[in-house]
Amino acid sequence: MPKTMTSRDRVLTALHHQEPDRVPTALWGSYYTLHDETYFRLLDYLGLGEPVSPFRRYKPRNANYLDDRILDRLDTDIRYVWLGFDDLGGAHPDTMRDAWGVQWQRMGPHITAVTHPLAESTIEEVEAFPWPDPEKYLRRDELRDRLRALARSGTHAITARAVNSYGPFEQASALRGREQFLMDIVLDPELAKLIVDKVTAVLVRLTEIYLDTAGRDIDFIEIPGDDYGGTAHLLISPKVFDTLLAPALGRIIRPIKEYRQDLFVAFHSDGAVGKLLGRFADLGIDLCHPLEPLPANDMGAIKAEFGDRLSFMGAIDIKQALPGSLTALEAEVKQRISLLAGNGGYILAPANHVQTDVPPQNVLALYEFARRYGEYPLNSSIEP
């Protein structure tokens, strides 16, 4: 490999399961961004001036900004584009309802769904529900302008952020209510499937529009994520995944691969999802985030079993290591690289959104440690 690669070449080499010059790094994608307050403090710490305009114009979530100045300072390898579907699933400030009809309310540091429009609906009412018209909410000109700006700057991999905050499982849960939807899966599977099918149809159409607008200019696409795992076990059985959710994910992934076989697909699923990783690969998922650092996720064993079929992004603990001491953070980076980066197939990033308990110097240190210990060939000295 060349002594120094461009960021784009570095990312694509890793995704082809080959070793680039160093482990690629990422921040500010769909599943691994900065909380607004963390962003503001980092901006001030670096003396970079005023915040950029929020890409989520209504600021409906806790992470509403995306600032290339920060990414340049951190020397990360990926830059992002977005389609703009209702501020990526967020609520309009006048009504606090999103495009799906779900009403949200801010409760302390979190924003929570407080109404579920399909909570008591019958099959007939689900059929008659005013499902979102994707064309009503899109900002294609903004997407095209962003692509042109990135093309001028040149060397980074370009990633399409997810068209919606939630995938079929999470969006159906928001519409129906999580507890009710989980009961539906068992007690009323026809209704559960209908809701998933209706949600998926919207996500597929959004994906088709995304591809039509930007598909030739991106290197990978992040599809809407679904959290299938708890801290120790799956939230759903593999059988439920196979019968209800795998077909939905397949419908989203299929047009991507038909449009461009070489376009990598990234998917987020928190928790102990090891039993589903082979199924993800079978569906055409290329890159899995976050491989959450949990006792249930044996990263070495997962890499050994799936490392030739899946690449991994994330794995950096946001709960203890990232907000903790620099010594602990350094050990975390060394361990994740030692377990996941061999033979490529790893992009270092936080395992989820970086929260307000992470000081600016720790964000900087994360990427400094990644550069220090991520050079190939990997040396045994990286082992903690």
- pLDDT of the residue at 86: 67
Q: Is residue 55 part of a domain?
A: yes
Burial 216-240 (b: 16+ CB within 10 A, else e): ebbbbbbbbbbbbbeeeebbbeeeb
| Cα–Cα distance for residue pair 202/357, rounded to 1 Å | 36
Query: Would you say residue 215 lies in a domain?
Result: yes
Does residue 40 fall inside a structural domain? yes
Between CA 278 and CA 61 the distance in angstroms is 32
> If we measure between CA atoms, which residue out of 233, 211, 236 comes closest to residue 223?
211
From CA 181, how far away is CA 175, in angstroms rounded?
A: 9
Give me the number of domains the chain comprises. 1
Q: Which residues contact 137 (CB under 8 A, 6 or more apart)?
A: 84, 85, 86, 99
Whole-number pLDDT of residue 60: 84
- Please report, for the domain that includes residue 185, its CATH number: 3.20.20.210
* pLDDT (0 to 100) of residue 46: 98
**pLDDT at position 154, please?**
80
For residue 72, the model assigns a pLDDT of: 97
For the chain (384 residues), the mean pLDDT of every run of 10, in chain order, is 83 98 97 97 98 90 94 98 78 84 84 92 98 90 94 91 95 97 98 98 97 96 97 96 98 98 98 98 98 97 98 98 98 98 98 97 98 90 55
Half-sphere exposure (CA, 13 Å, Cβ side) for 264?
Answer: 25
Residue 250 backbone phi and psi in degrees, to 5? -60, -40
Tokens of 111: 């924003």
pLDDT for residue 382: 65
State which residues form the domain around 206.
Answer: 7-382
Q: 87, 102, 106, 60: which is closest to 161 by C-alpha?
A: 87
Whole-structure pTM over 0.85, yes or no? yes
CB 308 within 8 Å of CB 283? no
